[in-house]
C-alpha cells in the first residue's frame, strides 16, 4: 500500500553524508568502535553543555538508560507513574522488580497530575517516574515538593523533552534535564535529537557516574573484578558520531520544527473541538510532536480523522492509545477507569505528521482533512 506520496508521521533528521563520513573517518585509523571511545566522550561533553547538567551517561537506547538508573537508585516497593506514555516507562519499572502504581494526568498538558500522585502514595512508595509528554514539561515544582515531603526519588522520563526549557520562578531558564534526581532521554531515530538508537541519563549525584558505567558494562569494575550483575547497554562510536553531527544542527532543527508547528496551529486553532498543545509563556517548546485531541464538538472523531488521513496515504499515530494499563500484559492487574482523564485523552488523541522538513503544502492538506473540509 505504501507509495512514494505517503507522508509518514515522522522522518529522522540526518546530517549530510559528507559530514557524517568526515566524523567517522578517524575510526578507520583507531579501530576503536565501542566501549567509551573518543566519539562517546566527545558527545557526553557536548550534551552536558547543551543540556546544562553536571553529569550525563550515554546508553545504547533510552529504555536501557531508564532501567539502569532505576537499578542504580536501588529502589524497592511501589513507583508512581503515568499510564499515558510509551510502553518503555512502565516496562522499565516492572523489569526492575518494582510495582508501578498509575496516577492520572492533567487535561491541559497530559502530564501527571500532582494531586493524583499525592493520592497514590502509600508507605511502600519509593519513587515517582513522571513523563514530559510530547515535550510538555511536567509540573516539576509541585512534583518536587511532593517528593521532598515524602522522601521519594524522582526520575523523569524525558524521552520527548530534548531541547525543551522553562523559566523558573526566579526567572532563570532551566533545561529539561534539570529536574528531579535524574532524567532519561531517548535518542531514537524518531526523536527530536537522534543517535540512530541511543539514550542518556542526566543526573545530580556525581557518585552515580561510575555506577551507571559499570551497570551498562556487565558490572565490570576492573579487569579481574566484577561486582554487579550488570547488563550491556553501551553506546557505540558510530551512534555517538551521528549524535555529534546532529547536535551541531540542533538549533536549526528546532527552528524548522517551530515553523511546522506554527503552520499547524495557524490552520487548526480556529477549528471548533480541536484541542492543540500550545506552549505557554515561560516555556521554550521543542516541537517534538503535534498532538490534537478531538473533543465532542470536533468536525470528525479521532478515528474518523485517522481513517480519512490513512485513505490519503498520510500517517498519523494514536499516541498514546491504548493506555499502558490496558495492554494485554497489564490489564488484568489494573483498571484504567481509575485514571479517567488519561482514558479520555487516549480515546481522542492523534499525533499528526511532525518533522523538520515537512512541506507547508502537506500541512495545509493534513489540516483540511482533520477539519473535515476535505472529502
Ligand atoms: C522513545 C521513548 C522511550 C524509549 O526510548 P528508546 O530510546 O526507544 O529505548 C521511553 N519513553 C518514552 C516516552 C519514549 O517516547
CA distances from 321 to 14, 84, 124, 260, 317 (A): 29, 8, 29, 24, 9
- Could you tell me the distance, in angstroms and rounded to a whole number, from the CA of residue 198 to the centre of ligand 1? 10
- Could you tell me the distance, in angstroms and rounded to a whole number, from the CA of residue 1 to the centre of ligand 1? 28
- Could you tell me the distance, in angstroms and rounded to a whole number, from the CA of residue 66 to the centre of ligand 1? 9
Sign of CA dihedral 183, 184, 190, 192: positive
- Could you tell me the distance, in angstroms and rounded to a whole number, from the CA of residue 374 to the centre of ligand 1? 34
For the whole model, what pTM was predicted?
0.97
Comparing C-alpha atoms, which of 164, 193, 179 is closest to residue 129?
179
Could you give the CA distance from residue 142 to residue 308 in angstroms, rounded to a whole number? Answer: 40
Which of 60, 70, 157 has the most ligand 1 atoms within 8 A of CB, as the residue to mutate? 157
The model's pLDDT over 194-214, given as tens digits with 9 standing for 90+, comes to 999 999 999 999 999 999 999
- Could you tell me the distance, in angstroms and rounded to a whole number, from the CA of residue 186 to the centre of ligand 1? 5
On the question of pLDDT at 4 being above 50, the answer is no
- Could you tell me the distance, in angstroms and rounded to a whole number, from the CA of residue 343 to the centre of ligand 1? 21
Confidence of residue 280 (pLDDT cuts 50, 70, 90): confident
pLDDT of the residue at 279 = 85
DSSP-derived pairing of the beta strands 78-81 and 125-129? parallel
Which of 188, 198, 323, 324 has the most ligand 1 atoms within 8 A of CB, as the residue to mutate? 188
Sign of CA dihedral 286, 289, 295, 297: positive
On the question of pLDDT at 249 being above 90, the answer is yes
- Count other C-beta atoms under 10 Å from residue 265's C-beta: 15
Which grid cell is 166? 522553562
Comparing C-alpha atoms, which of 99, 95, 93, 96 is closest to residue 131?
93
pLDDT of the residue at 3 = 46
Could you give the CA distance from residue 244 to residue 238 in angstroms, rounded to a whole number? Answer: 10
Nearest CA to ligand 1 atom 14: 159
- Could you tell me the distance, in angstroms and rounded to a whole number, from the CA of residue 129 to the centre of ligand 1? 13
Could you give the CA distance from residue 213 to residue 133 in angstroms, rounded to a whole number? Answer: 28
- Could you tell me the distance, in angstroms and rounded to a whole number, from the CA of residue 188 to the centre of ligand 1? 7
Comparing C-alpha atoms, which of 111, 58, 31, 113 is closest to residue 243?
58
- Could you tell me the distance, in angstroms and rounded to a whole number, from the CA of residue 90 to the centre of ligand 1? 11
pLDDT of the residue at 301 = 98
Q: Phi and psi dihedrals of 248, rounded to 5?
A: -60, -30
Which of 82, 85, 86 has the most ligand 1 atoms within 8 A of CB, as the residue to mutate? 86
Average pLDDT estimate for 253-271: 97
pLDDT of the residue at 120 = 98
- Could you tell me the distance, in angstroms and rounded to a whole number, from the CA of residue 222 to the centre of ligand 1? 31
Quote the percentage of the chain above a pLDDT of 70. 98
- Closest atom, ligand 1, to C-alpha of 88: 10
- Closest atom, ligand 1, to C-alpha of 62: 7
The model's pLDDT over 138-177, given as tens digits with 9 standing for 90+, comes to 999 999 999 999 999 999 999 999 999 999 999 999 999 9
Of 4-18, 110-124, 315-329, 346-360, the poorest mean pLDDT is in 4-18
Could you give the CA distance from residue 217 to residue 231 in angstroms, rounded to a whole number? Answer: 6
Which of 159, 182, 342 has the most ligand 1 atoms within 8 A of CB, as the residue to mutate? 159
Count CA atoms within 13 Å of residue 323 on its CB side: 28
pLDDT of the residue at 37 = 97
> In whole numbers, what is the pLDDT of the chain averaged over residues?
96
Which of 63, 164, 200 has the most ligand 1 atoms within 8 A of CB, as the residue to mutate? 63
pLDDT of the residue at 5 = 62
- Count other C-beta atoms under 10 Å from residue 9's C-beta: 19
On the question of pLDDT at 2 being above 90, the answer is no
Average pLDDT estimate for 353-357: 97
- Show the ligand 1 pocket: residues with CB < 6 angstroms: 61-63, 85-86, 88-89, 131, 157, 159-160, 186, 188, 199
Amino acid at each position: 500500500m505504501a507509495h512514494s506520496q505517503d507522508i509518514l508521521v515522522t522522518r529522522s533528521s540526518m546530517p549530510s553524508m559528507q559530514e557524517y563520513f568526515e566524523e567517522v573517518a578517524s575510526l578507520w585509523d583507531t579501530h576503536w568502535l565501542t566501549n567509551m571511545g573518543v566519539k562517546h566522550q566527545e558527545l557526553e561533553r557536548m550534551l552536558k553543555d547543551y543540556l546544562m547538567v553536571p553529569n550525563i551517561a550515554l546508553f545504547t537506547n533510552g529504555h536501557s538508560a531508564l532501567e539502569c538508573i532505576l537499578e542504580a537508585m536501588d529502589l524497592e516497593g511501589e513507583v508512581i507513574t503515568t499510564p499515558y506514555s510509551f510502553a518503555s516507562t512502565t516496562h522499565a519499572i516492572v523489569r526492575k522488580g518494582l510495582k508501578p502504581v498509575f496516577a492520572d494526568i492533567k487535561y491541559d498538558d497530559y502530564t501527571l497530575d500532582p494531586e493524583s500522585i499525592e493520592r497514590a502514595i502509600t508507605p511502600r512508595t519509593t519513587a515517582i517516574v513522571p513523563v514530559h509528554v510530547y515535550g510538555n514539561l511536567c509540573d516539576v515544582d509541585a512534583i518536587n515538593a511532593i517528593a521532598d515531603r515524602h522522601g521519594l526519588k524522582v526520575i523523569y522520563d524525558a524521552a520527548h523533552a530534548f531541547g525543551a526549557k522553562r523559566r523558573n520562578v526566579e526567572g532563570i531558564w532551566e533545561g529539561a534535564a534539570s529536574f528531579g534526581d535524574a532524567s532519561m532521554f531517548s535518542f531514537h531515530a524518531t526523536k527530536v535529537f537522534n543517535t540512530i538508537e541511543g539514550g542518556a541519563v542526566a543526573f545530580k549525584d556525581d557518585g552515580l557516574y561510575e555506577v551507571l558505567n559499570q551497570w551498562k558494562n556487565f558490572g565490570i569494575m576492573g579487569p579481574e573484578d566484577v561486582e554487579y550483575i550488570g547488563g550491556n547497554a553501551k553506546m557505540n562510536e558510530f551512534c555517538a558520531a551521528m549524535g555529534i553531527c546532529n547536535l551541531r544542527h540542533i538549533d536549526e532543527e528546532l527552528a524548522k520544527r517551530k515553523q511546522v508547528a506554527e503552520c499547524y496551529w495557524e490552520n487548526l486553532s480556529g477549528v471548533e473541538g480541536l484541542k492543540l498543545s500550545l506552549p505557554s509563556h515561560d516555556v521554550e517548546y521543542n516541537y517534538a510532536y503535534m498532538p490534537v485531541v478531538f473533543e465532542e464538538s470536533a468536525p470528525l472523531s479521532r478515528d474518523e480523522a485517522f481513517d480519512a488521513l490513512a485513505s490519503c496515504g498520510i500517517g498519523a499515530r494514536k499516541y498514546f492509545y491504548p493506555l499502558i494499563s490496558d495492554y494485554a500484559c497489564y490489564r488484568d492487574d489494573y483498571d484504567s477507569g481509575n485514571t479517567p482523564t488519561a482514558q479520555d485523552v487516549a480515546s481522542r488523541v492523534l499525533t499528526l505528521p511532525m518533522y523538520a522538513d515537512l512541506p507547508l503544502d502537506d500541512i495545509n492538506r493534513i489540516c483540511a482533512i482533520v477539519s473535515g473540509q476535505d472529502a
